[in-house]
């Protein structure tokens, strides 16, 4: 048996080298500069004043006390906000898939608690914070609607608010469900979760004449530049955004209205401005994963073949913007079900606008589906792995399109073997270790394979070195190393002689670090540029002295090539109808063991095993780290992590890293990652992307294991001790 927990994974078929990260030494020795580490000339410091109410309007400000505080440079509110030009939402093509809210401080209206209502600028961070705490605000307060079930929340069908959206369906669900032999009708819920990366949300802005340089913790500088230029009403060439390193983003460092706001403030005070949003304000000055509710109806015939599936999801959004994740697009294509219905609704409440968080649609929707699958398998008297195998499909039941590659069964087989699934006694509450109830559970992971148009520039010098330039991001994933590896493999240059530059608008425009697109999209552009260099040498790059003399013969000290790359079928018009796009998806299978103390109900996850197939694995070491980190987050999302809402005030209660729980070392036991060799030819690079694959399904595997240990189905996340101690029937526990 291979040791999957070995420090350096051994590459399998169709896998690259397990090179260590090229920036690792700089990171662990503190040499890496993150956005807030940049030094500005004669800087000022900004601190936000945020709304203490969730709904209403501002009657007025009393700034008298704040203005005379030592070190205060300026205080801006909607009354005197430096006009950055009227905010014009960027065109959809320029804005990215989730454009930010309009710039705050444009009126007296309050749409959510924590809304930015004033910016205090001072000589030091401490002075700005002290003055912000002395800004008095007179509000006209109205009763807010807090969450999906609250009075005053407006629930709308996604089909009615988004012209292009159609709820996936096929066959005749109602009829098939009514006549089915075995069925289930369950309610599931997932909580709000907030971004708490180590690196805080940051914006630094410095003007030189008409040009502004911005340092910001961002996962998409090129899109951010377009948005900021639109906010400021200036040409995008006037805006430079630099952010080579990111201390965790996970969807939280996409476009934000804060950037243009701080740039406008810097222009008004005629000095550079530094903003580091404190942890608590980060809960409302930024996006988050919103809570969702699900109804899943699932039915099978007597042999265990699925015959009907209906998935109704309701997602919270703000009053400002109709953000949605609509995870039914994925869940309706996972199993071979002939009759499918689905419906997505959004719930507008008095909350800040949600946004992306690692696998935004898949995490909540696959939780519901994969719990339901486990429940129905049990009702059919089938092992949940066998049940999934029986209902596997190699094509979409909605469109009939085949998957470019799909090895879900192979993932289940490998992970089950490694985990020891065969030792499971299927009866609930049948396994025990001393005072601990032991449960085994499993679930499917799935995540669409995306890429994204990218450009790259590569330079090969006569001394056998190379420079790779691409305005994509390494958000901590190892992307820098992978870009270098792509060039090293094609140019035959050792990785330690390659310099990789990323995360800056002065570099070629490339895909943002969202949707697990960087390796496939950015890597394909780097490959294209390298291929062009190879073509200059008639397909064979000379090595060593031969390279030097070959370049000398051409009269060159270096060769530089620029390449544009677009995903297959994606024309200049930008994108194609989803119905015509190839069906490409990465898959995985996760198995967990949970232990629940028979008296205290303390819950532990001593081990987890995941097997994944995601096309070519560019670097098994960075890939394993990605998947391992994702599974750990998956454990956190199942039993630790959630944002507490104050129903009366539409406020977040645990807005600190002390009270917002994430797993720590002592919470995590054995994490095993298996990478299944897979060849996928959707794109020449062969990679599908896996950053968001590993935390999909984890929470369902844990919920299923909790049921196996205790006989209790916990259908609302997180699974906390109180839910296991309370033996009364819970809503949704049909
Ligand atoms: Mo990531 S949640 O796709 O930005």
- Cα 514 to ligand 1 centroid, rounded to whole Å: 4
Confidence of residue 97 (pLDDT cuts 50, 70, 90): confident
pLDDT value of position 82 = 74
What's the pLDDT tens digit per position in 412-439?
999 999 999 999 999 999 999 999 999 9
CA of 357 to the centre of ligand 1 (A): 6
Q: What's the Cα-to-Cα distance from 417 to each of 115, 129, 410, 694, rounded to whole Å? A: 51, 56, 11, 19
As given in the structure block, the two tokens for residue 38 are: 């940049």
Cβ(223)–Cβ(241) under 8 Å? no
**680-707: average pLDDT:** 96
Classify 714 as helix, strand or coil: coil
Residues of the chain with pLDDT > 90, as a percent, come to: 90
Measured by CA distance, the residue closest to atom 4 of ligand 1 is 251
Tell how far the Cα of 31 is from the centroid of ligand 1, in angstroms: 27
pLDDT at 2: 43
Pick the atom of ligand 1 nearest to 512's CA.
4
Percentage with pLDDT > 70 across the chain: 94
Q: Is-contact 474 622, C-beta < 8 A? A: no
DSSP per residue over 506-569, as a string?
TSPB---S-TT-IIIIIHHHHHHHHHHHHHHTTT----THHHHHHHHHHT-SEEEEEEEE--TT
Q: Could you give the residue ranges of the DSSP H alpha helices within 297-356?
A: 328-331
Which amino acids bring their CB within 6 angstroms of ligand 1?
219, 250-251, 254, 356-358, 360, 514-515, 692
Looking at ligand 1, which atom is closest to the CA of residue 358? Answer: 2
Chain-centre distance for alpha carbon 207: 32
Does the pLDDT of residue 89 top 90, yes or no? no
Indicate which atom in ligand 1 lies nearest the CA of residue 359. 2
Q: Which ligand 1 atom is the nearest neighbour of the CA of 254? A: 4
> How many angstroms is it from 254 CA to the middle of ligand 1?
8
Which tops the pLDDT comparison, 133 or 10? 133
Q: What is the pLDDT of residues 224-253, one digit of tens each?
A: 999 999 889 999 999 999 999 999 999 999
- Cα 194 to averaged position of ligand 1 atoms, centre (Å): 13
Q: Out of 1-15, 82-96, 175-189, pick the least confident.
A: 82-96
Q: Is 343 exposed, middle or buried (0-12, 13-18, 19+ CB in 10 A)?
A: middle
Tell me the pLDDT tens digit for each residue of 664-674.
Answer: 999 999 999 99
Q: Give kind and range of the element (H or E) at residue 274.
A: strand 273-276
State the Cα–Cα distance between residues 573 and 373, nearest whole angstrom: 40
How many residues are listed for the chain in this entry? 734
Q: Which residues are catalytic?
A: 692
Tell which atom from ligand 1 comes closest to the C-alpha of 357.
2
Instruction: Tell me which of 289, 479, 515 to substitute to probe ligand 1's pocket, judged by most ligand atoms within 8 Å of the beta carbon.
Output: 515
pLDDT of residue 256: 87
Query: What pLDDT is recorded for position 728?
Result: 56
β-strands 273-276, 603-613 pairing: unpaired
Mean pLDDT of 396-409: 97
Cα 331 to Cα 320: distance, rounded to the nearest angstrom: 28
Give CA–CA dist 104/320, Å, rounded.
Answer: 11
First to last CA, the chain: 42
**Cβ atoms of 676 and 613 closer than 8 Å:** yes
- Mean pLDDT for the stretch of residues 161-170: 96
Instruction: Identify whether the C-beta of residue 469 lies closer than 8 Å to the C-beta of residue 513.
Output: no
Give bridge partners of residue 674 from the DSSP assignment. Answer: 611
Please give the distance, rounded to the nearest whole angstrom, from the Cα atom of residue 219 to the centre of ligand 1: 9
Q: How many helices (H) and strands (E) does the chain have?
A: 19, 28
Residue 141 Cα to chain centre, angstroms: 34
**CA distances (Å), origin 520, targets 99, 208, 421, 629, 685:** 23, 36, 34, 20, 7
For the entire predicted model, the pTM comes to 0.96
Residues 6+ apart with CB under 8 A from 31: 25
Q: Residue 72: is its pLDDT beyond 50?
A: yes
| Per-residue pLDDT, 694 | 98
Higher local confidence (pLDDT), 160 or 582 = 160
């Amino acid at each position: 048996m291979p040791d999957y927990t070995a420090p350096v994974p051994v590459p399998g078929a169709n896998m690259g080298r397990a090179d260590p990260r090229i920036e690792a030494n700089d990171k662990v020795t503190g040499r890496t500069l993150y956005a807030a580490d940049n030094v500005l000339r004669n800087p000022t410091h900004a601190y936000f004043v945020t709304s203490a109410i969730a709904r209403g309007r501002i009657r007025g400000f009393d700034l008298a006390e704040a203005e005379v505080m030592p070190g205060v440079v300026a205080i801006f509110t909607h009354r005197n906000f430096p006009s950055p030009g009227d905010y014009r939402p960027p065109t959809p093509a320029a804005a990215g898939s989730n454009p930010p809210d309009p710039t705050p401080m444009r009126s007296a209206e309050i749409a959510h608690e924590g809304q930015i209502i004033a910016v205090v600028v001072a000589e030091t961070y401490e002075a700005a914070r002290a003055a912000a705490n002395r800004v008095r605000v007179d509000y006209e307060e109205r009763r807010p609607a807090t969450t999906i079930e609250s009075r005053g929340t407006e629930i709308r069908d996604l089909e009615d608010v988004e012209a292009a959206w159609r709820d996936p369906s096929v066959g005749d669900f109602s009829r098939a469900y009514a006549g089915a032999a075995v069925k289930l009708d369950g309610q599931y819920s997932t909580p709000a979760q907030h971004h708490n990366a180590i690196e805080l949300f940051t914006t630094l802005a410095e003007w030189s004449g008409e040009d502004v340089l911005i340092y910001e913790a961002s996962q998409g500088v090129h899109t951010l530049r377009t948005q900021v230029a639109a906010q400021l009403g200036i040409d995008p060439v006037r805006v430079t955004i630099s952010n080579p390193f990111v201390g965790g983003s996970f969807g939280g460092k996409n476009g934000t209205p804060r950037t243009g706001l701080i740039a406008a403030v810097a222009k008004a005070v005629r000095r550079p401005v530094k903003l580091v949003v404190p942890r608590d304000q980060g809960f409302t000055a930024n996006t988050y994963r919103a809570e969702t509710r699900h109804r899943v109806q699932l039915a099978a015939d007597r042999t265990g073949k699925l015959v009907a599936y209906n998935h109704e999801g309701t997602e919270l959004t703000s009053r400002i913007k109709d953000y949605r994740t609509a995870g039914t697009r994925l869940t309706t294509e996972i199993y071979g079900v002939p009759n499918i219905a689905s419906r997505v609704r959004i719930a507008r409440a008095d909350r800040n606008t949600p946004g992306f968080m690692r696998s935004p649609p898949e995490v909540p929707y696959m939780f519901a589906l994969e719990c339901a699958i486990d429940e129905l398998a049990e009702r059919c008297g089938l092992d949940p792995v066998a049940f999934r195998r029986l209902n596997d499909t190699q094509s979409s039941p909605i469109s009939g399109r085949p998957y470019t590659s799909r090895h879900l069964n192979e993932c289940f087989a490998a992970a089950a073997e490694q985990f020891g699934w065969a030792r499971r006694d299927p009866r609930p509450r049948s396994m025990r270790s001393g005072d601990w109830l032991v449960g085994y559970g499993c679930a499917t992971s799935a995540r669409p394979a995306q890429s994204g148009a990218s450009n790259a520039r590569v330079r090969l010098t006569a001394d056998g070195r190379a420079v790779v330039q691409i305005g994509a991001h390494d958000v901590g994933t190892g992307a820098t190393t992978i870009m270098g590896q792509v060039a090293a493999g094609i140019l035959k240059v050792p990785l330690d002689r390659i310099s990789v530059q990323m995360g800056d608008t002065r570099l070629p425009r490339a895909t943002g670090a969202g949707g697990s697109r960087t390796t496939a999209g950015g890597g394909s552009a780097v490959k294209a540029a390298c291929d062009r260099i190879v073509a200059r040498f008639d397909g064979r790059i000379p090595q060593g002295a031969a390279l030097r003399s070959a370049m000398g013969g051409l009269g060159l000290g270096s060769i530089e090539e620029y390449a544009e790359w677009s995903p297959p079928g994606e024309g200049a018009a930008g994108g194609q109808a989803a119905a015509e796009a190839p069906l490409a998806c990465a898959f995985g299978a996760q198995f967990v063991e949970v232990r629940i103390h028979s008296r205290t109900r303390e819950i532990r996850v001593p081990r987890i095993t995941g097997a994944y197939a995601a096309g070519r694995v560019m670097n098994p070491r960075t890939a394993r780290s990605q998947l391992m980190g994702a599974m750990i987050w998956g454990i956190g999302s199942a039993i630790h992590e959630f944002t507490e809402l104050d129903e009366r005030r539409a406020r977040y209660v645990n807005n600190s890293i002390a009270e917002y729980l994430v797993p720590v070392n002592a919470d995590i036991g054995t994490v095993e990652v298996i990478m299944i060799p897979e060849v996928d030819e959707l794109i020449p690079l062969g990679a599908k992307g896996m950053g968001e694959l590993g935390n999909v399904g984890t929470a369902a595997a844990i919920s299923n294991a909790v049921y196996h240990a205790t006989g209790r189905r916990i259908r609302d996340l997180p699974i906390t001790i109180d839910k296991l101690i309370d033996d009364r029937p819970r809503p949704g526990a049909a």
